[in-house]
Amino acid sequence: MPSPSPPQRRSDPPEPLEPADLVDPARWHLDPGIVFLNHGSFGARTREVLDRQDVWRRRMERQPIEMIGRRVRELLAPSKERVASFVGADPDGLGFVTNATEGVNAALRSVSWRPDDRVVATDHVYHAVRQTLRRLAAECGVEYVEVPLPLPMRSSEDVVAALGPLLEAPTRLLVIDHVTSPTAVRLPIEPLLERCRDAGIETLVDGAHAPGMLDLDLEELGADHYTGNLHKWAGAPLGTAFLWSSPAVRDRVHPNVTSHFYGEGFAREFDWQGTRDPSAWITAAEAIDDLGRLGWDRVRKHNHDLCRWAHAMLVERWGVEAMTPLDGSMLGSIASIEVPGPLATRHARPEAMQAELLARHRIEIPVIDWGGRRFVRISAMVPNRGWQYERLAEAIEDLAT
């Protein structure tokens, strides 16, 4: 099937970043015949980053005992320091994990739970984290409460007001998304974390989407735990994420895999979690520097501006209600837009609609059911172009007829 060609633009989206060779879609391994608007699920990597990971893999295969058995801490150290600098954290409290959900699990296991404890999240929580919290409640006897945050969200104050009444005893822990996965809302975590500190409530931020999307300073932010993926918006290899824990709680945090260095401190335990391929973690620093050649402030601004433009364009074109303010104040680089009414019930399941968009229109995008409504969630990354979102607009209108 030939590659899709850009249609006539209705308005002017942000121009691609310069230099052009660094934002050329051909730098990524993505299929040129598909309009890829799903960077928010697993991200995508440049050819250069994958080549660098392959170099590290070959080095380890050439001398596996030397590279893994003797030198793994030495090899991980520069990447830990670069990642820590990137997210504004001290490297001693940063440990690599494979994904943010793994980081959530490690942080939850660090708490000595009491039967009368309460754990609070919102109903926009990522489903894998919801399941983890349900298991926690079943096994430890704690109360798990999801606070409704109805859509549309008009302002950050609505979120703080909804959660505020539960930020007191017996709440022991607040689990809060920095950017929600199903609904793509950037939540106002700063005032919530401040309230929790004042109330003596421990905090865990699920920042799965934040590294590379938002400008982070974890030490200033002041959460007890923060976990984030590097394989989404920072361009690192798949299976690259981190958990950072503050000095106040760090001594009781352990990786999910208990191995030889249990009890020897956060850094030593997370540096060795058993036999595994550490090439993705080692390559994380090079991935950050790869996109960093464009300037990370420029990358974040471009992606946000493109997302804001596409969000407003699709809302207007489909005649639907915006779920967050059109000024983009509650968006990062992803946005969820409700599909037009006739299309909302055409497919029994969102996976069927996603499959039809791919089969008929060669568009890869997540379709999400949330709160009895159906959404598509767009992503904006440097290889994306404005015409791709207009192609999505046409495809949805075609399916709705």
pLDDT in tens, 231-266: 999 999 999 999 999 999 999 999 999 999 999 999
Residues 155, 287, single domain; the answer is yes
pLDDT of 40 strictly over 90 = yes
Average pLDDT, the chain: 95
Q: How much is the pLDDT for 86?
A: 98
Q: Report yes or no on 226 lying in a domain.
A: yes
**11-24 residue pLDDT tens:** 789 999 999 999 99
Q: Report yes or no on 163 lying in a domain.
A: yes
* Whole-Å CA distances, 355 to 3, 61, 293: 18, 39, 36
Q: How much is the pLDDT for 10?
A: 52
88, 246 in Cβ contact below 8 A? Answer: no
For residue 34, what are its two tokens? Answer: 């598909």
pLDDT of 7 strictly over 80 = no
203, 174 in Cβ contact below 8 A? Answer: yes
For residue 220, what are its two tokens? Answer: 């200033």
Q: Report yes or no on 9 lying in a domain.
A: no
Percent of the chain with pLDDT over 90: 94
Q: Report yes or no on 5 lying in a domain.
A: no
pLDDT of 350 strictly over 70 = yes
Q: Which of 68-72, 119-123, 384-388 has the lowest mean pLDDT?
A: 68-72
SS3 content of the chain, % helix, strand, coil (to 5): 45, 15, 40
pLDDT of 8 strictly over 70 = no
- Number of separate domains in the chain: 2
The predicted model scores a pTM of 0.95
Q: Which of 291, 309, 329 is the last residue of a domain?
A: 291
Q: Which of 291, 311, 327 is the last residue of a domain?
A: 291
pLDDT of 112 strictly over 80 = yes
Residues 272, 354, single domain; the answer is no
For residue 17, what are its two tokens? Answer: 């970043």
pLDDT of 71 strictly over 50 = yes
**199-234 residue pLDDT tens:** 999 999 999 999 999 999 999 999 999 999 999 999
- Cβ neighbours for 135, distance < 8 A, ≥ 6 positions apart: none
Q: Report yes or no on 12 lying in a domain.
A: no
Mean pLDDT, residues 140-161 taken together: 94
Residues 262, 316, single domain; the answer is no
Mean pLDDT, residues 133-160 taken together: 94
**Rounded to whole angstroms, how far apart are CA atoms 145 and 393?**
37
Q: Report yes or no on 330 lying in a domain.
A: yes
Residues 364, 238, single domain; the answer is no
* CATH code assigned at 367: 3.90.1150.10
Residues 176, 256, single domain; the answer is yes
**Rounded to whole angstroms, how far apart are CA atoms 80 and 63?**
22
Instruction: With CA atoms as reference, report the closest residue to 47 among 282, 228, 286.
Output: 286
Confidence category of residue 1, pLDDT binned at 50, 70, 90: very low
Residues 113, 24, single domain; the answer is no
Q: Report yes or no on 252 lying in a domain.
A: yes
Angle at which helices 47-62 and 279-292 pack, to 10 degrees?
A: 150
Q: How much is the pLDDT for 348?
A: 93
Residues 35, 82, single domain; the answer is no
At 326, which amino acid appears? L
Residues 193, 306, single domain; the answer is no
* CATH code assigned at 148: 3.40.640.10
> Containing domain of residue 353, as a range?
20-45+295-400
Q: Which of 291, 318, 349 is the last residue of a domain?
A: 291
Mean pLDDT, residues 268-293 taken together: 96
Residues 148, 40, single domain; the answer is no
Return the SS3 of 36. strand
**301-320 residue pLDDT tens:** 999 999 999 999 999 999 99
Residues 276, 343, single domain; the answer is no
Q: How much is the pLDDT for 344?
A: 87
**Rounded to whole angstroms, how far apart are CA atoms 42 and 36?**
12
Residues 271, 384, single domain; the answer is no
Residues 226, 313, single domain; the answer is no
Alpha helices in 180-234 (DSSP H): 189-199, 218-221
Q: Report yes or no on 14 lying in a domain.
A: no
Instruction: With CA atoms as reference, report the closest residue to 279 among 83, 90, 79.
Output: 79
pLDDT of 105 strictly over 70 = yes
pLDDT of 2 strictly over 50 = no
